[in-house]
Amino acid sequence: MDLLETKSINAFYGNSQVLFNMSLNIKKNNIIALLGRNGAGKSSTFKAITGLINVKSGSIKLKGEELIKQPTSKRALAGIGYVPEDRQVFPEHTVEENIELGKKNNLQGIDNWPIDKIWETFPILVKLKDRLAGQLSGGEQQMLSIARTLVGNPEILLLDEPSEGLAPIIVEDIAKILENLKKLGVTILLAEQNMHFCMEVAKEAIIIDKGKAVWTGSLNDLQQDTKTRDKYLAI
Amino acid sequence: MEIFALFDCIISPACLISQTAGGLKIGMLLFLVASGLTLVFGVLGVINFAHGALYMLGAYFSWQVMAVTGHFGLAVICGAIGVGIFGLLFERLLINKVYNADLLVQILLCYSVILILDDLVMIIWGDEFLSGIGVPEVFQIPPLFIFDAIIPPFHIAIVVISMIVALLLWLIMTKTKFGKLVRATAVNPKMLEALGVNTNVIKAGVFMLGSFLAGLGGALAASLGSVVSGMGNSIIIESFIVTVIGGMGSIGGAFIASIIIGMARSFGAVAMPLFTDGIMFLIMVLVLIMKPEGLMGKKK
């Protein structure tokens, strides 16, 4: 059984449809890249899975459990972890308070991410503990946003463009953290435009275009397949 | 305008102290009510026009408990808690339906609740003025004389109680998990939901806390004056002025603005006895011109 299974999702922003029969299957302990041009529907896919936009039909199953009727908070408790593209840290809470706000055990009541493990995984945040999140740099906010979601022990991490707007050297740091998370067995669905960044951390990819999954395969194959790349990813 | 009277008052220690004490008493009672209003606005984005009616309910509830038990402390606490519970029901049954509605719909809902409650208390308790719950026995002692200023000990108690409530409110908002969740809900409820927090519970809790504060203000006011239907109508206007001057949603701002308004009323009564209400509005207009977001409000 796949960890996350979405079938034929049709999702809307107000009256305009953004996802058309979107189907995805994500296996456990894996990092999958979700590729697509700007506006292809990557963020909308995440928002549909978390319940932040209106899904009119389809199915979203996590470990076989149907979530489509559940509100956002219940989906998070079920194990959907969401790191939004603009990080959305709470700017007037300290780093430590931000992490505290995300703290929860998984559905089995187990805490795989005690706070010490968070500091170990994100050493950069240790000395920023008492700093207001709004005062952090973009890269630091990105790390905080990931840490805040991890501390809630999600089954899967939906990571929306973590490299966006960051300096290359910071992007390297984020890539190292994702490598580390992969070793720890965290399942990540990684939405990206930066294919080079994806190559470093993921092996498989799904391409979405115009609100639909159009290609699934290995990133190595995609690297060779200029036709597909040109069709769906070239700007 | 009796500007010389104000000058005479300021240079006379007796007048200065008694007017300052009076201003503090008015200001701190106002803070109890206004802090609830600004908290609800800051977190829920709803301007609760029925907040004054909740204040009135606090006065009636405490009057009733006093009539039955004769215990002042119990009357005040039950008045406040009773309004807190009423506020919770009000939020769950009505207010949460209009969180994202047009401002006009919110106002209409609150206004209808004001009219219903004003009539309901008349049906239950009658339309006569009820004499308040009075001053508890321990404070029925001769007033203090400080530099010839006459200060009733109970007024000092009211200021102290309100200061303690202000301190507790500050501790709740900054040091407790609930307070951190409340502040996060005010900033970005959707993100908090995505982290697994049911923000409906937080919102209901905030409305309950805001109602509790209105009820506490009403219960304490019942000890200083009479209880009557519609008594919330003037306090709601003053609370709005405090909220606007302090900055919509800022509890610290409400604290400062309450003291400013208390002092303006107290010293205004000396300098311009026919224009004390006008002074409040004048201060509000000045703040709106010079700092439209309020003294401690955030720029949008």
The C-alpha of A206 sits at a distance from chain B's nearest C-alpha, in angstroms, of 24
Q: What is the pTM of this model?
A: 0.92
- Taking the C-alpha atoms of residue B156 and residue B150, their distance in angstroms, rounded to an integer, is 12
Number of domains in chain B: 1
**Would you list which residues of chain A are within 8 Å, Cβ to Cβ, of chain B?**
50-52, 71-73, 76-77, 82, 84, 88, 90-93, 97, 100-102, 104, 148-149, 152
pLDDT of residue A226: 86
Q: Is a pLDDT exceeding 90 seen at residue B136?
A: no
Task: Choose the weakest-confidence range: A53-57, A151-155, B138-142.
Answer: B138-142
Q: What is the DSSP letter of A194?
A: -
What would the DSSP string read from start to end of A18-67?
EEEEEEEEE-SS-EEEEE--TTSSHHHHHHHHHTSSEEEEEEEEETTEE-
Q: Does B94 touch chain A (CB under 8 A)?
A: no
Q: Is a pLDDT exceeding 90 seen at residue B2?
A: no
Is A84's CB within 8 Å of B194's CB? yes
Domain boundaries, chain A: 4-232
pLDDT of residue B1: 59
Report CA dihedral (A78, A84, A88, A90) to the nearest 10 degrees: 20
Is A101's CB within 8 Å of B184's CB? yes
Q: What is the mean pLDDT of residues A27-56?
A: 93
Helix (H, G, I), strand (E, B) or coil at B12: coil
pLDDT digits (tens, 9 = 90+) for B160-178: 999 999 999 999 999 999 9
pLDDT of residue B206: 97
Q: Is B35:B209 a contact under the CB 8 Å cutoff?
A: no
pLDDT of residue B49: 94
Radius of gyration of chain B (CA): 19
Is A88's CB within 8 Å of B191's CB? yes
Residue A41 confidence class, pLDDT cut points 50, 70, 90: very high
pLDDT of residue A185: 84
In chain B, the residue whose alpha carbon lies closest to the alpha carbon of A158 is B194
Structural domain including B106 reads 3-290
Residue B300 confidence class, pLDDT cut points 50, 70, 90: low
Q: What is the mean pLDDT of residues B231-239?
A: 93
Q: Is a pLDDT exceeding 90 seen at residue B11?
A: no
Residue B10 confidence class, pLDDT cut points 50, 70, 90: confident
pLDDT digits (tens, 9 = 90+) for B71-99: 999 999 999 999 999 999 999 999 999 99
Tell me if B204 is assigned to some domain. yes
What is the residue-averaged pLDDT of chain B?
93
Q: Is a pLDDT exceeding 70 seen at residue A75?
A: yes
In chain B, the residue whose alpha carbon lies closest to the alpha carbon of A96 is B180
Residue B142 confidence class, pLDDT cut points 50, 70, 90: confident
Q: What is the mean pLDDT of residues A143-167?
A: 93
ipTM of the complex: 0.93
Q: Is a pLDDT exceeding 90 seen at residue A228?
A: no
Q: What is the mean pLDDT of residues B108-131?
A: 95
Tell me if B134 is assigned to some domain. yes
- Nearest CB to A101 within list B181, B190, B198: B181
Residue A227 confidence class, pLDDT cut points 50, 70, 90: confident
Q: Is a pLDDT exceeding 90 seen at residue B5?
A: no
Q: Does B191 touch chain A (CB under 8 A)?
A: yes
Is A73's CB within 8 Å of B193's CB? yes
pLDDT of residue B132: 83
Is A152's CB within 8 Å of B191's CB? no
Tell me if B300 is assigned to some domain. no
Q: Is a pLDDT exceeding 90 seen at residue A89?
A: yes
- Nearest CB to B194 within list A50, A93, A104: A50
Q: Is a pLDDT exceeding 80 seen at residue B224?
A: yes
Q: What percent of chain A has pLDDT over 70?
A: 100
Q: Give the fold, CATH level 3, of A4-232.
A: Rossmann fold (3.40.50)
Residue B274 confidence class, pLDDT cut points 50, 70, 90: confident
Q: Does B187 touch chain A (CB under 8 A)?
A: yes
What is the residue-averaged pLDDT of chain A?
92
Tell me if B55 is assigned to some domain. yes
Q: Does B181 touch chain A (CB under 8 A)?
A: yes
Q: Which two tokens stand for residue A187?
A: 């399942």
Q: Does B299 touch chain A (CB under 8 A)?
A: no
pLDDT of residue B205: 97
Tell me if B203 is assigned to some domain. yes
pLDDT of residue A25: 92
Residue A235 confidence class, pLDDT cut points 50, 70, 90: low
In chain A, the residue whose alpha carbon lies closest to the alpha carbon of B201 is A73
Q: What is the mean pLDDT of residues A69-92?
A: 96
Residue among B180, B192, B195 with most chain A CBs within 10 A, to mutate: B195
The C-alpha of B182 sits at a distance from chain A's nearest C-alpha, in angstroms, of 11
Report chain B residues whose CB lies below 8 A from the CB of A148: 195
pLDDT of residue A197: 86
Q: Is a pLDDT exceeding 80 seen at residue A234?
A: no
pLDDT of residue A98: 97
- Taking the C-alpha atoms of residue B234 and residue B236, their distance in angstroms, rounded to an integer, is 5
Tell me if B120 is assigned to some domain. yes
Task: Choose the weakest-confidence range: B4-18, B60-74, B226-240, B262-276.
Answer: B4-18
Tally of CA atoms within 13 A in the half-sphere of A158 that contains its CB: 24
Tell me if B295 is assigned to some domain. no
pLDDT digits (tens, 9 = 90+) for B143-157: 888 888 888 889 999
Residue among B191, B200, B250, B298 with most chain A CBs within 10 A, to mutate: B191
Phi and psi dihedrals of A56, rounded to 5? -85, -30
Tell me if B297 is assigned to some domain. no
B153 contacts: CB under 8 Å, gap ≥ 6: B139, B141, B143, B144
| Helices within chain A (DSSP H only) | 42-50, 72-78, 95-102, 115-121, 123-126, 138-150, 168-183, 195-201, 219-224, 226-232
The C-alpha of A187 sits at a distance from chain B's nearest C-alpha, in angstroms, of 17
In chain B, the residue whose alpha carbon lies closest to the alpha carbon of A48 is B194
The C-alpha of A20 sits at a distance from chain B's nearest C-alpha, in angstroms, of 23
Report chain B residues whose CB lies below 8 A from the CB of A149: 195
In chain A, the residue whose alpha carbon lies closest to the alpha carbon of B200 is A73
Q: Do β-strands A204-209 and A212-218 pair in parallel, antiparallel, or remain unpaired?
A: antiparallel
Q: Does B184 touch chain A (CB under 8 A)?
A: yes
Strands (E), chain B: 144-146, 149-151
Q: What is the mean pLDDT of residues B265-282?
A: 90
Q: Is a pLDDT exceeding 90 seen at residue B242?
A: yes
Report chain A residues whose CB lies below 8 A from the CB of B199: 73
